[in-house]
């Protein structure tokens, strides 16, 4: 695949780790969390019958689980009714996660999980002006390329899969402003520098949900990147996976790495959504 070739379709995220195996799961625990999730925005209270309907559980099972959770202090009966509601004790279930209060801290273990099995390097980056700033990085095996991208390193967004994954989900006016904010130079013979060809590339990236770079910003490196979208659907950051070109052909790499990039980006986006802003980006000039 060349720099100007159409990107392959984005692959859906996939279950990850041994817990994805149904044989390793305790169904009674899954039912407990289904009951807790039956309460939420717009439905803070529920009867046992409503819990059964929302979870797909039979009424007897729903009755026992609701009363067990009430006995443990996670649900409370609503006075003078048959309804229940969540208690503040439920906050303790997520408090330890919220203590790691920024996106890079949550991204680091996810990036480390895929290196070196799925990639030689994995990164989290954001846009500042027309540049990508690396916030978190896991790497093994790319030193011989003379490539060091520690947290804080910067690179023109136009020439990186990370940058293109974020730019693709911004309004056209914002894309143009950021592309014009830096000098666009060829880092390799495959680097795209023209405005029209870059805008065409960003349209492809948006349509497919991920960006692919095959030696566009560094000779011999291949990268797949997916955007991390905030609760409003705006791109907050992006996740990338990179390999040495000698490791496998670009088509095989995209097929293997895209699900991991999409999964990590999706998990970070979900963390931002569920934390109601408690998990976010470090304060930086944007």
Token code pair at residue 171: 């309004």
Token code pair at residue 251: 């088509």
pLDDT at 241: 97
Residues of the chain within CATH 1.10.10.10 domain(s) are 18-96
pLDDT at 251: 96
Its CATH architecture, for the domain 100-274, is 2-Layer Sandwich (3.30)
**Three-state DSSP class for 178?**
helix
Alpha carbon of 196 to those of 73, 122, 147, 157: distances in Å? 59, 29, 29, 15
pLDDT at 209: 95
Its CATH architecture, for the domain 18-96, is Orthogonal Bundle (1.10)
Cβ neighbours around 140 below 10 Å, total: 12
Q: Is 72 exposed, middle or buried (0-12, 13-18, 19+ CB in 10 A)?
A: exposed
Ranges of the chain with pLDDT below 70: 1-21, 41, 91-101, 143-148, 283-286
pLDDT at 13: 40
CB 105 within 8 A of CB 280: no
Alpha carbon of 275 to those of 91, 92, 176: distances in Å? 11, 13, 32
Statement: the pTM of the whole predicted model exceeds 0.75:
no
Distance CA 149, CA 63 (A): 54
Token code pair at residue 131: 């540049």
**Phi, psi dihedrals of residue 218, rounded to the nearest 5°:** -155, 130
pLDDT at 71: 93
Residues of the chain within CATH 3.30.450.40 domain(s) are 100-274
pLDDT at 1: 39
pLDDT at 145: 56
CB 234 within 8 A of CB 169: yes
For 232-286, how does the pLDDT look when each residue is reduced to its tens digit (9 = 90+)? 999 999 999 999 999 999 999 999 999 999 999 999 998 888 777 777 777 654 4
pLDDT at 264: 95
DSSP 20-88: GSGGG--HHHHHHHHHHHTSBTTB-EEEHHHHHHHHT--HHHHHHHHHHHHHHTSEEEPTTSSEEEE-G
Kindly report the length of the chain. Answer: 286
């Amino acid at each position: 695949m060349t720099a100007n070739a159409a990107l392959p379709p984005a692959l859906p995220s996939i279950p990850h780790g041994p817990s994805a195996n149904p044989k390793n799961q305790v169904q009674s625990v899954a039912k407990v969390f289904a009951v807790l999730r039956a309460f939420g925005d717009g439905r803070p209270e529920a009867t046992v019958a409503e819990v059964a309907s929302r979870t797909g559980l039979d009424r007897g099972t729903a009755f026992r689980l609701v009363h067990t959770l009430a006995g443990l202090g996670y649900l409370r009966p609503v006075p003078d009714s048959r309804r229940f509601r969540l208690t503040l004790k439920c906050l303790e279930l997520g408090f330890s996660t919220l203590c790691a209060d920024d996106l890079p801290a949550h991204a680091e273990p996810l990036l480390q999980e895929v290196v070196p099995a799925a990639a030689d390097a994995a990164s989290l980056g954001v846009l500042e002006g027309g540049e990508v700033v690396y916030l978190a990085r896991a790497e093994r095996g790319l030193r011989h390329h003379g490539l060091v991208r520690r947290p804080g390193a910067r690179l023109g967004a136009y020439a990186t899969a990370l940058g293109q994954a974020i730019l693709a989900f911004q309004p056209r006016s914002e894309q143009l402003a950021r592309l014009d904010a830096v000098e666009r130079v060829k880092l390799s013979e495959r680097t795209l520098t023209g405005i029209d060809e870059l805008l065409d590339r960003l349209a492809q990236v948006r349509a497919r949900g991920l960006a692919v770079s095959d030696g566009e910003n560094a000779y011999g490196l291949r990268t797949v990147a997916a955007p991390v979208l905030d609760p409003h659907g705006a791109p907050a950051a992006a996740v990338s996976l990179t390999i040495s070109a000698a490791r496998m052909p670009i088509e095989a790499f995209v097929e293997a790495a895209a699900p991991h990039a999409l999964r990590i980006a999706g998990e970070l986006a979900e963390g931002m959504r569920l934390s109601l802003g408690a998990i976010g980006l470090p304060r930086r000039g944007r």
